[in-house]
Chains A and B, each alone.
Chain A
């Protein structure tokens, strides 16, 4: 239990709480627009950036962030090339990211230890710089989404109607991608690159089970993500588990519970 009062754990907890707001929020927009896989893709590319950061001795999270942003551009470009098979572009870039990451990681043999932290998440690695970065990203995401909540709703619900209303749909699509890239690259240190997309998509999956309105679904995703993040980090700290794995397993448990409750309600 002592671990909970330590400085590094509290950093992880604060970081986790902030990510627990932004990740499911961006995930909700992605899932509703049928772009669930983008989170995974950006995370895998981001990890290549992290590897490069280690190799050249530059702050890895920042390099990961640049890589994730570059990936959003690449996905857009490829999506145009394969119009009707848009998911193909996502698959290509995802494997490209992992391939590059594995190459870069094996090139610098000395830092293998920290690799697993980036893949599966860790509560030990978050330093003050990371926390500040997470804080800045949180503010940017909340401001952008809060300022354009109604336009993002319309875009997500009915992109054509948004365009006919004269909304700059390309700008908003791009905004969603960029914000997602930001959130993912700052999340991987805690949740891990392999698991971060679960924090984006599973809360949204839960909200589809219980929410009637868009407002409700926004609240639902944040509440569920926070539950899983806080409980997950605490148990990871106490029992020395991988935080990412614990959080994701909790999310899956919550989803299964909600599904079975709904089934029972429907049957009764």
Chain B
């Protein structure tokens, strides 16, 4: 009985459409950058966007998170047209490295905490519960010792973990990563991808990642792109290729990640 209930709720949850692109085009100064892209991302998919510079990957990503408006076509997030979408706290976003000035006076803790400052939090004070979430995220990424340091003082890999902690603090359903490993040494990159893969396999998170790293994408998402749109290639690992996700609680999932990192499998 209980099993059946769980299965039912799973089939309800696990086939939600997270991102839908319908005939999306974008032109910059009348020059088409993206032409009639149709694509959809289902819950717990892992999608890798690959393409040379100027292929429009970043443009596509920026449209999906609402930073750019498509010239034509429509985008839906979690089933809602992007214009009406308000549940921004469902999305965790890891920006390109070096998107900030290394001298910027902000501690790691302040940066991680800022992941909570979404539209839904306007006019609300930071609560005790928020601080606890922040400490948990720091803890899970093993950067609690660095929490009081200025973000610019951290190494590339440590900064990446800080930004991942910021993205995870809201327990996001969709994690968007924009070239997360550019400018990071290969060993640290490997650890970072291990972390990402672990999260994908054990937790109910959908991934959308722009990357240059063909090797990682191919080894995890397969040799063949699922779809091509112009010069952008979409590599996908579908949720039905994965084992069932049981764990959805952020605290647990983050602790588990930390343990697996401490066991020495991952050298992040």
Q: Which residues of A contact B (CB under 8 A)?
A: 32, 34, 147-148, 150-151, 153-154, 157-158, 160-168, 207-208, 211-217
Contacts and interface: CB of A to CB of B under 8 A. Distances in A.
B103 A208 contact: yes
Interface in B112-160: 114-115, 117-123, 126, 148-150
Contacts of A215: 110
A214 B119 contact: no
10 contacts: A32-B101, A32-B105, A151-B117, A153-B106, A153-B114, A163-B67, A164-B65, A164-B176, A166-B120, A212-B150
A55 to B, nearest CB: 43
Interface in B45-97: 65-67, 86, 88-89, 91, 93, 95
Contacts of A150: 114, 117, 121, 126
Contacts of B110: 153, 213-215
A90 to B, nearest CB: 19
B249 interface: no
Given A157-B100, A160-B99, A167 B119 contact: yes
A168 B93 CA distance: 17
Given A163-B65, A164-B88, A213-B106, 9 more contacts: A157-B114, A166-B66, A166-B118, A166-B120, A167-B117, A207-B105, A208-B105, A211-B105, A213-B107
A164 B67 CA distance: 7
A166 B126 CA distance: 18
Given A150-B126, A151-B122, A165 B105 contact: no
Chain B interface SS verdict (over half):
loop
Contacts of B107: 212-214
Contacts of A167: 117-119, 122
Nearest to B67: A163
Contacts of B114: 150, 153-154, 157-158, 161
A164 B177 CA distance: 12
B91 A164 contact: yes
A148 B166 CA distance: 19
Nearest to B93: A164
A45 B101 CA distance: 30
B217 to A, nearest CB: 23
A214 B121 CA distance: 19
Contacts of B126: 150
The 7 closest A-B pairs by CB, nearest first: A166-B88, A166-B119, A165-B118, A217-B105, A211-B105, A213-B107, A164-B93
Contacts of A216: 105
Contacts of B103: 208
B105 to A, nearest CB: 4
Given A154-B114, A166-B88, A167-B119, A160 B106 contact: no
B22 to A, nearest CB: 21
Q: Give the one of A32, A163, A168, A212 with max B CB within 10 A.
A: A212
